[in-house]
Structure 1
């Protein structure tokens, strides 16, 4: 944290695995730089522990949850502002520009709002597949039911539209 403190950095981008490590130990959490006002998390699913929540509230930090698997980069964002309720599992948020998120059932049909299904992603940032792994590419990437030329990535996680 010395670099962040020395340079009075107020916006920090950290992988969720690193955030989890920091906020799993009270000593590390308490040494988190006071000057940080915006914390951007990206990577695996973000989980907010009680200790993490305490630091966010006490220091008035805006938490930005950026979601996106490696195959699509960041595809959605959700911000929790100081004073907002902080859920243990924050939503992945709304899709960024040139990106669409679909919640599909096992028949690859859109689920109604509030009904869980599998998350699929399409858009400019979606990869074309895996190099030299045709079977895996076929399992995870498809043309989907969304029109000719629209490639969708099967993210594999359960989601629901709120």
Structure 2
């Protein structure tokens, strides 16, 4: 199963706090059971984890397997995956990614109003990395578009996490 917006889709975004435009997400391709490949801000070939997080390609299969357990989206579904070395220059750390579909709700953003599922990602640092970040994304179930993302840093350094909302969505090819 693929759980990405159609290739060619562009989600234009702004910061929720200031309204400042931020780099749009350009969805390049998707493969069944793997995270979407996106470019943003001149950076190409990153994996998009439901609009919540960008990762390098090395973790595609493992994060894809965890994400696949959430689809089709339904309240209460959960999955998790342990990724080693991501996000720490020394490589002596690991991240535990825990996904949960929390609820379904109507959300309004500048791009429109949508019936969406709220998906939470909790990232817990392990070993040398003791960060703890909770993120939530509002995902439109028929197109897989993230339309809002929030985060809460409980422990560790803020690595440029930004709460955002979609201002315009340009759909790519057929799903």
- TM norm structure 2: 0.26
**Higher helix fraction: Structure 1 or Structure 2?**
1
- TM norm structure 1: 0.28
* Higher-Rg member (1/2): 1
With CA pairs under 8 Å and 6+ residues apart, which has the higher RCO, 1 or 2?
A: 2
